[in-house]
Amino acid sequence: MSVRTGVWAAAVALAVMTTTAALAEGPPKRGGTLTYLIPADAPPSFDGHRETTFATVHAAAPFYSVLIRVPPDNPASTTEFVCDLCTEMPKPTDDGKTYTFKIRDGVKFHDGSRLTAFDVADSWNRIVFPPKGTVSARVSYYAMVDKIEAPDERTVVFHLKRATTAFLPALADPFTWIYKKEILAKDPHWYEKNIMGSGPFKFASYQVGQSIKGVRNPDYYHKGQPYLDAIEGIFAAKQSVRVDALRADRAAIEFRGLPPSARDELVKEAGNTIAVQDSDWNCGNIITFNHKKKPFDDVRVRRALQLAVDQWKGAPALAKIATVRTVGGIVFPGSPLAATKEELQQMAGYWPDIEKSRAEARRLLKEAGAEGLKFELTNRNVDQPYKYVGTWLIGEWKKIGVSAEQKVVPTGPWFQAMRGGTFDVVVEANCQSVVNPVLDTGKYLPHTVYPENFGGYDDPKSIELYEKMQVETDPKAQRAAMRAYEKHTLDTAAHAIVTPYWYRIVLARSYVKGWKISPSHYLNQDLANIWLDK
Q: Which residues bind another protein (CB under 8 A)?
A: 41-42, 44-45, 51-54, 130, 133-140, 189, 192-193, 207-211, 232, 234-238, 240-241, 244-245, 247-251, 269, 283, 410-417, 419-420, 429-433, 443, 450-452
Choose between 193 and 341: whose C-beta lies nearer to another protein.
193
CB of residue 512 to another protein, shortest distance in Å: 18
CB of residue 222 to another protein, shortest distance in Å: 27
> Which residues have C-beta within 8 Å of that of residue 424, sequence separation ≥ 6?
289, 290, 293, 296, 375, 376, 377, 378
Is residue 197 within 8 Å of residue 179, measured between CB atoms?
yes
b/e sequence 360-388, b meaning 16+ C-beta within 10 Å: bbbebbeebebeebebebbbbeeebbbbb
CB of residue 415 to another protein, shortest distance in Å: 5
Q: Which residues pair with 380 in a beta bridge?
A: 409
Choose between 381 and 403: whose C-beta lies nearer to another protein.
381
Burial of 18 (0-12, 13-18, 19+ CB in 10 A): middle
CB of residue 448 to another protein, shortest distance in Å: 12
Backbone phi, psi, residue 247, to 5°: -65, -45
CB of residue 479 to another protein, shortest distance in Å: 24
Bridge pairing between strands 98-102 and 82-83: unpaired
CB of residue 37 to another protein, shortest distance in Å: 8
Cα-Cα-Cα-Cα dihedral sign, residues 256, 261, 265, 270? positive
**How far, CA to CA in Å, does 480 sit from each of 280, 339, 461, 468, 491?**
23, 10, 16, 10, 16
Choose between 136 and 489: whose C-beta lies nearer to another protein.
136
Choose between 40 and 344: whose C-beta lies nearer to another protein.
40
CB of residue 234 to another protein, shortest distance in Å: 5
Choose between 20 and 411: whose C-beta lies nearer to another protein.
411
DSSP assigned state of 176: -
CB of residue 247 to another protein, shortest distance in Å: 6
Choose between 90 and 169: whose C-beta lies nearer to another protein.
169
Choose between 76 and 234: whose C-beta lies nearer to another protein.
234
3-state class of 66 per DSSP?
Answer: coil
DSSP assigned state of 242: H
CB of residue 270 to another protein, shortest distance in Å: 8
Is residue 376 within 8 Å of residue 390, measured between CB atoms?
no
CA distance 136 to 521: 20
Choose between 51 and 360: whose C-beta lies nearer to another protein.
51
The overall longest dimension of the chain from CA atoms, in Å, is 72
User: How many angstroms from the chain centroid is the CA of residue 63?
Assistant: 21
Choose between 160 and 283: whose C-beta lies nearer to another protein.
283
CA distance 21 to 25: 6
